Amino acid sequence: MNIRKCSRAVIINERNEILLQRFEFRDVVGNKVLWVTPGGGIEENETPAEALKRELYEELGIVVDLLGEPLFQLDVWIEGKQGPFISREIYYKIVIPSDTRLSFENMTKEEKEAWQQVKWWSKEELQNINDFAPRELLNYI
């Protein structure tokens, strides 16, 4: 089974809301559209923290310092169009103000084509929708 290593951010604001992005995942069976945490794949010779800092700059235009250990790790089984794989996801908690200026100018071409929007969510709102992943996030906000 192939394993894709990822680093992701649980970004929380002063109202204890979480920042999620809506992406169309074109490489999975059914082209799923989901609300997910910012982040992405860990490249060769990158630490998880380095990968997340790069991804947050690409996807949101923010520069962060990651202090401390990861919040949690998940292995997510995914039915990819090229066959099933495991997404090994390491999550870090980051706190930023809700009025932080975000920029989407640094996204890769592939990210820009798949990206749809970004939104702050309360825990109560997330409990009432089905199209966000992973559901385990509810345990950390």
pLDDT at residue number 72 = 94
The reported pLDDT for the residue numbered 67 is 72
pTM for this prediction: 0.92
Ordered structural domains, the chain, with CATH: 1-137 (3.90.79.10)
In order along its 141 residues, the chain shows pLDDT tens digits of 799 999 999 999 999 999 999 999 888 878 889 999 999 999 999 999 999 999 999 999 999 987 789 999 999 999 988 999 999 999 999 999 999 999 999 999 988 999 999 999 999 999 999 899 999 989 888
Query: What's the sign of the alpha-carbon dihedral 140, 34, 58, 40?
Result: positive
- Residue 19: the pLDDT is 97
